Amino acid sequence: MATAKEEQQQSNEIENNKAKNETVITELHFDLLKHYAWLSSAIIGAIIILAQIGVTEMNVHVFVSLGLLGLSILISLTGQDHMVDSLLKGKSIYSIAKLMKVLRVTSLLCLGMGAGYFSANIF
């Protein structure tokens, strides 16, 4: 009798941990996308300030960088919107985790390429 009770208790603990993990994973995905969008917009602001004070001039390299950074913001916001819509429809975060990872990596790649391309062509 004690083993059945212990198994039931262990099963309840596993279910509670899964629910807690799902909440943490959802928050992490959302926060990462939010931070990528925030960082991209901060870099865009820095590029504009550098262009205004004359450190760099507005040329094709700056526009490519701004485009990549803008794309990073767009992908991040699209990922956040998709996550919220999926969760409102009752889907589990685990069912959309692969798409969220692809969106996060793509957003981070655009952010890195935009900042790197600008840095490489600043002078």
pTM of the model: 0.84
Question: Given a cut of 60, is residue 33 above it in pLDDT?
Answer: yes
CA distance 52 to 54: 5
How many other C-beta atoms can be found within 10 angstroms of the C-beta atom of residue 59?
A: 10
Give the closest residue to 40 by CA, choosing from 70, 60, 81, 79. Answer: 70
> How far lies 32's CA from each of 8, 16, 72, in Å?
36, 24, 12
Q: DSSP class of residue 40?
A: H
Q: What is the mean pLDDT of residues 73-77?
A: 97
- pLDDT value, residue 123: 66
Domain ranges of the chain: 2-120
CA distance 87 to 100: 12
